[in-house]
Amino acid sequence: MSSTFSSSDSIRRRTNRDLTSKNSSISTTNITTMPLARTIERNSVSLPNSPQKTYTLASNLPTQYEENDSTEEKVSTKKTLDIPRKNSGSSQKTGITSASAASRRSVNHDVLPVMRGRSNTDVQSAMSTSNNLRQQQANISGSGSDKTINHHNNPRSQSPTSPKPKCTLPTTLCQPGYVTASKLFNMMGYGLQNQYLFMLAHYLYIIDCRSKEKFSESHIITAIHWEDALSGAVYISIVERFSEIVLYDDKGIFFNTSTEMRRVSNRFSPSGTKTCLTLSGGFEAFRTLFPFACTQSDIRSTVDREKFLTIYPSVVLDNQLYLGTGHQATNWKVVRDLKITHIINISIEHHCVFTDKIKYLHLELEDMEDVLLKDRFDETIHFMEAAFQNSSSRILVHCNLGISRSTTILLAYLMKTYNATVLEAFKFLRHRRPIVSPNIGFLRQLIEYEYELFSHTYSDPNDPIFH
């Protein structure tokens, strides 16, 4: 019995060893052969030819490639949408852009997935090819973001075919601390209700630094003799409240002021405070241009100002061009004093009342944004050019308040005559009349006119200076 059990155990153990060895062999065979089978199966897949297969393989790329592909799609879509807005009517250029975009999409989906299993050098080569195509696309159609900016700010902005002619607007030759006669005259008429005359008695303070005899003969209206100023006829505390203090003598030579002027200047503008201005050319220069603004009377009180003073239009070009209100254009004293020969009336509020003495151009237009004032630019510019053929002609341009309609017409004239952009002409005019402000519709028409003149848009209607 014992021998029988031993023999059976021996057989059982041998059988178990055989089974174990067999399982181990099978396991080893599976581990060895299965990766090989997978490798063969993977390499046997043909390269993608159809868009559908390409898309399937591309979806298995790493996240890096998925993000690049998505970005390229967005950029391509943006460029395709932007180009027709800027180049409407140019089918040829749009076609080129579409083809380029399609080419880029083909590169992104066909080339990069194929390079997925290749060396880094091949991947860099493929990306370089894609970048080259991207650069060609940018050269053809430009940056999408740049075009978006141009579309919103300057829809017609493009590189000018030729350089813009140099702006030839007159420049004021005046040293710092000096003011010209025309500038002083305009300062005396700033504001709708005229601060100098009625609203602010302390707006402008003019001090005559000549002798008492010359002052009595004639002086700028409302000026105070320097001796009265220093003796306390006007208190120092009050003088400090004035917006501007202007001094003048006989000639007003640069840096050659009289002793009296230096004394007054030191008294009313001590170191560290607002500097007094000096009238360039002195009293003689002012009286030559504006004799009607000089007097023998001593005008100081508000009552005297209302009785003796007149509000005049602003001087745009000396002895040539003026910008004012409808009430000034219907005041014969103003028209006579300025020797006006032509009037451009751009209003429905005021009539042309001096037709027997003045040559008129009447544009019955309202101050509304949708009014096509641009359609009358050529007519008014021709009228002005014809008038200036005679050197003695003087033109007054007005609307109701001298702010919007008349300003627009004058800006167009300055742009055409002096090769000025809207911005250049506007700065020039605002220096002479600070209240000018065309409505937004007229401003956009001026910018369109700028494009017609120079084949390029230089000014931005959103520039804060216009508002």
CATH code for the domain in which residue 357 is found: 3.90.190.10
For residues 309 and 196, give the distance between their C-alpha atoms in angstroms, rounded to a whole number: 10
Whole-number pLDDT of residue 10: 57
- Lookup: tokens for 114: 């194929």
For residues 198 and 240, give the distance between their C-alpha atoms in angstroms, rounded to a whole number: 19
The answer on 459 and 324 residing in a single domain is yes
Residue 309 pLDDT class (50, 70, 90 cuts)? confident
Whole-number pLDDT of residue 342: 98
229 part of a folded domain: yes
Average pLDDT on 214-235 reads 87
341 part of a folded domain: yes
- Mapping DSSP to helix (H, G, I), strand (E, B) and coil, where does residue 224 land? strand
Residue 231 pLDDT class (50, 70, 90 cuts)? confident
418 part of a folded domain: yes
225 part of a folded domain: yes
Q: Tell me if 419 sits within 8 A of 167, measured CB to CB.
A: yes
Residue 331 or 132, more confident? 331
CATH number of the domain encompassing residue 299: 3.40.250.10
Residue 100 pLDDT class (50, 70, 90 cuts)? very low
45 part of a folded domain: no
Q: Which domain holds residue 446?
A: 314-466
The answer on 200 and 138 residing in a single domain is no
The answer on 386 and 404 residing in a single domain is yes
Residue 304 or 15, more confident? 304
Residue 215 pLDDT class (50, 70, 90 cuts)? very high
Whole-number pLDDT of residue 171: 84
For residues 282 and 298, give the distance between their C-alpha atoms in angstroms, rounded to a whole number: 19
Residue 307 pLDDT class (50, 70, 90 cuts)? confident
The number of distinct structural domains making up the chain is: 3
Q: Does position 390 have pLDDT exceeding 80, yes or no? A: yes
Average pLDDT on 131-151 reads 40
pLDDT tens digits for range 316-369:
999 999 999 999 999 999 999 999 999 999 999 999 999 999 999 999 999 999
7 part of a folded domain: no
Q: Of 308, 327, 352, which one is at a domain's C-terminal end?
A: 308
Helix 91-106 / helix 120-141 crossing angle, nearest 10 deg: 170
CA 223 to chain centre: 40
For residues 404 and 146, give the distance between their C-alpha atoms in angstroms, rounded to a whole number: 33
The answer on 280 and 227 residing in a single domain is yes
The answer on 334 and 295 residing in a single domain is no
117 part of a folded domain: yes
The answer on 275 and 382 residing in a single domain is no
For residues 72 and 78, give the distance between their C-alpha atoms in angstroms, rounded to a whole number: 10
386 contacts: CB under 8 Å, gap ≥ 6: none
Residue 156 pLDDT class (50, 70, 90 cuts)? low
The answer on 447 and 347 residing in a single domain is yes
Q: pTM of the predicted model, to two decimals?
A: 0.65
Q: What is the DSSP string of 308-333?
A: H----PEEEETTTEEEE-HHHHT-HH
Residues with catalytic roles: 399
Percent of residues, the chain, with pLDDT higher than 90: 45
The answer on 234 and 108 residing in a single domain is no
- Mapping DSSP to helix (H, G, I), strand (E, B) and coil, where does residue 160 land? coil
Q: Tell me if 188 sits within 8 A of 226, measured CB to CB.
A: no
The answer on 461 and 334 residing in a single domain is yes
Whole-number pLDDT of residue 373: 96
Residue 88 or 439, more confident? 439
Whole-number pLDDT of residue 375: 96
The answer on 328 and 418 residing in a single domain is yes
Q: Of 308, 334, 361, which one is at a domain's C-terminal end?
A: 308
pLDDT tens digits for range 180-194:
999 999 988 875 444
The answer on 270 and 331 residing in a single domain is no
23 part of a folded domain: no
Q: Of 120, 153, 186, which one is at a domain's C-terminal end?
A: 153
Whole-number pLDDT of residue 81: 39
Average pLDDT on 211-229 reads 92
Whole-number pLDDT of residue 292: 95
The answer on 421 and 439 residing in a single domain is yes
